[in-house]
Amino acid sequence: MPLPQERLYTIDDIYNLPEGTRAELIDGRIYYMAPPSRKHQQILLSLSRLIADYIDQKEGSCEVDIAPFAVFLNENNRNYVEPDISVVCDKNKLTDKGCTGAPDWIIEIVSPGSRRMDYFIKLFKYRSAGVREYWIVDPDKSRIFVYNFESEDTGEYSFSDSVMVGIYTDFHIDFSQLNI
């Protein structure tokens, strides 16, 4: 007897979810998201503000977008994610709907319900899609995990460390100075 086949979803299914339902689509599987905590949002605001200020001061061409912001990782209709922070340096990837292709830098802030997604599923997906740098900020562990896919470097830092941003040569984020 053949095994039942799992249904594969598309981006159309994401857009047809009830209003206010947040979900991501990875390889045709839907992953629902819980609302973020207040601490999650404080970290999101602090980091995105620092990154945007740096880009503005350097008169850079990159753009910072925060969730909910659609990222269509592959050229198919089976992958749609909403990273907490996306830094996109190629303006040709940006449309009114979001980003088509891999952002240069993605930061995910771990929530209790997103731990497996952020540490495993998204790590693999972002690397294979061509993201240059991926940070996992884990408030429960007070840790930052940095994956620089271009140089194949990884690092683990605490909330008392200053972390160098790999896609820039002169930018670091001092987590001890963040109000979190």
CA distances (Å), origin 78, targets 14, 24, 49, 106: 10, 10, 31, 19
118-163 tens-digit pLDDT: 999 999 999 999 999 999 999 999 999 999 999 999 999 999 999 9
pLDDT for position 75: 76
Helix (H, G, I), strand (E, B) or coil at 48: helix
Distance between alpha carbon 61 and the CA centroid of its chain, in Å? 19
Res. 36 pLDDT band, cuts 50 70 90: very high
Q: What integer is the mean pLDDT of 54-62? A: 96
pTM of the model: 0.94
Alpha helices in the chain (DSSP H): 11-15, 38-57, 115-116, 122-129
Res. 4 pLDDT band, cuts 50 70 90: low
**25-33 contacts: CB < 8 A, separation 24 or more?**
25/78, 25/79, 25/80, 25/81, 26/78, 26/79, 26/81, 26/121, 26/122, 26/125, 27/78, 27/79, 27/125, 28/78, 31/117, 31/121, 33/82, 33/113, 33/114
Residue 1, pLDDT > 70, answer no
Provide the residue type at 121 as one letter. Answer: I
